[in-house]
Structure 1
Amino acid sequence: MAPGPLLVFDFDGVLVDGMAEYWWAARQAALRLSPDLPLPEQAPAAFARLRPLIHKGWEMVLVAAELARHPSALSAPGVAYDQALPLALAHWGWSPPILQSTLEDVRREAIQADRSHWLALHRPYPGVPQRLRALAAERADWAVLTTKGGDFARELLAAQGLVPLQTFGHEDGTKPEVLLRLLALQRPLWFIEDRRATLEAVRATAGLEAVRCFLVSWGYLGPRDLADLPEGLTVLEPTAFAAPLAEWP
């Protein structure tokens, strides 16, 4: 009998809505590096608009600092986000490793000081935990592949009583690299993500042509992310996600 599929899920924006925690942690980390930043306690609207562009945790800290410098920083007309990042790093004199380590220090200390408060800043999307638990009945397994630190993802999953086959964090490599390693399991791979650019990178990676790629409709999407999808990318709506795997688009 052929093995069932392994569903590989992105974490933030697919399984969990962590927008409140993103801003809280990014703000705390930015203030550690520059204590005089005028950063509000509630996330500004510009932060939510930029979230679909953010790929790695360290970028959140930089975005918070930039928004304190100028409300339209990194999102002004004609500004290319990826090209603006190195300019912003140069302005602050920071590096991605410094930003990432500061962010992770903030999160570790928050878990130690008040784990329940930190957990409460994350909200599983409706029906997701139940659907993940039901996969075993369909002879499917699931894994998590995130740019968040793996320890933090495991902490959040454990709080929901969820135990994936494997959890991969940013320390395990890029998403295409991890998916290439998972080919060794010799089973169908389905990749579920809310960042279109990541899915396009997977589709462009030699060796991953057979991976089924799904773009969820409920994640942190840009205004045109669902339009004119290239071949090989399929939109996954909540109703389809809840349906048996044999009925997925």
Structure 2
Amino acid sequence: MEEYWWSARRAALSLCPGAALPDTIPDGFRALRPWIHHGWEMVLIASLFSEPSRSLMTGDLDGVIRDYSAFCSEGLSRFGWTPTLLQERLEHVRREAVLMDRSGWLAMHRPYPGVPERLASLEDEGVAWAVLTTKGKAFTGELLASMGLTPARLDGRESGPKPDVLLSLRDDWRLRGFIEDRKATLETVRGTAGLEELPCWLASWGYLKPDDPVTLPEGVSLLSPECFAGPLASWN
């Protein structure tokens, strides 16, 4: 979360140099994180925090959450921005951060307790693992390397939608399952031809919406940290 706000704020200020944005992470930004899917949305939302009259600053987040997609579309139109522009600004900020202060940038990321260790131990069970992310591949590679992790395959946003990447993986691997912290993505995966039988898990420690754990679609199970730490055979 610290890196999300730091990078989004700097990208927003590069587009609106006179904007008044707090150094500390706004509560509203934290609250909206489960709805954010792509990096460009973080930059847009950060920019909107510079407008005191907007609902993000007044605390009226319910209306934003009810129609988050429309809220983002309206924000893009009002600023005259595109998702591509915002995504490029965000990645520029991250590239500069890695070049200028790699250790400082990496220090803003804190893995969930036990997750790096569990991923590293999968090899002991004869299981290869891959990372599919909407982050840029280069930045994800930096993060994984700093944790001593080397996945068998790494696909960033450049590889396309996660269902497409999973279909590609299926051609070379025997897929054992897919872990994700965004329920909508899991629903899309399960509804994709060729992936209907893929076991899926919703990570309970991710950025979940309040009702996500209790409205899971068929074929998707909630994965707790305790279950994640256990043998694969127990992940039911």
Structure 1 SS opposite 2:9 = helix
TM-score after normalising by structure 2: 0.94
Match of 2:195 among 208, 217, 222: 208
Q: CA deviation at 1:226?
A: 0.6
Match of 2:4 among 22, 27, 46: 22
Q: CA deviation at 1:137?
A: 1.1
Structure 1 SS opposite 2:213 = coil
Gaps of 5+ in 2: none
Please state if 1:195 is matched with 2:182. yes
Gaps of 5+ in 1: 1-18
Kindly indicate whether the alpha-carbon contact (under 8 Å) linking 1:199 and 1:233 is maintained by their aligned counterparts in 2: yes
Please state if 1:178 is matched with 2:162. no
Name the structure 2 match of 1:97: 84
- Residues in 1 aligned to 2:180 and 2:27: alpha-carbon distance in whole angstroms: 23
Query: How many corresponding residue pairs?
Result: 231
**Over residues 132-162 of structure 1, what are the superposed CA-to-partner deviations in whole Å (9 max), with x where a residue is unaligned?**
1110111111110000000000000011111
Kindly indicate whether the alpha-carbon contact (under 8 Å) linking 1:46 and 1:71 is maintained by their aligned counterparts in 2: no
Q: How does 1:136-147 map to 2 (within 5 A)?
A: 136-147=123-134
Please state if 1:33 is matched with 2:15. yes
Considering fraction of residues, name the structure with more strand.
1
Q: CA RMSD in A?
A: 1.3
Name the structure 2 match of 1:77: 63
**Over residues 221-240 of structure 1, what are the superposed CA-to-partner deviations in whole Å (9 max), with x where a residue is unaligned?**
11111112121110000110
Name the structure 2 match of 1:16: none
Considering fraction of residues, name the structure with more helix.
2
Kindly indicate whether the alpha-carbon contact (under 8 Å) linking 2:169 and 2:175 is maintained by their aligned counterparts in 1: no
- Residues in 1 aligned to 2:50 and 2:74: alpha-carbon distance in whole angstroms: 16
% identity of equivalent residues: 53
Q: Which has the higher contact order (CA 8 A, sep 6+)?
A: 1
The one-letter code of the counterpart of 1:58 is: W
TM-score after normalising by structure 1: 0.90
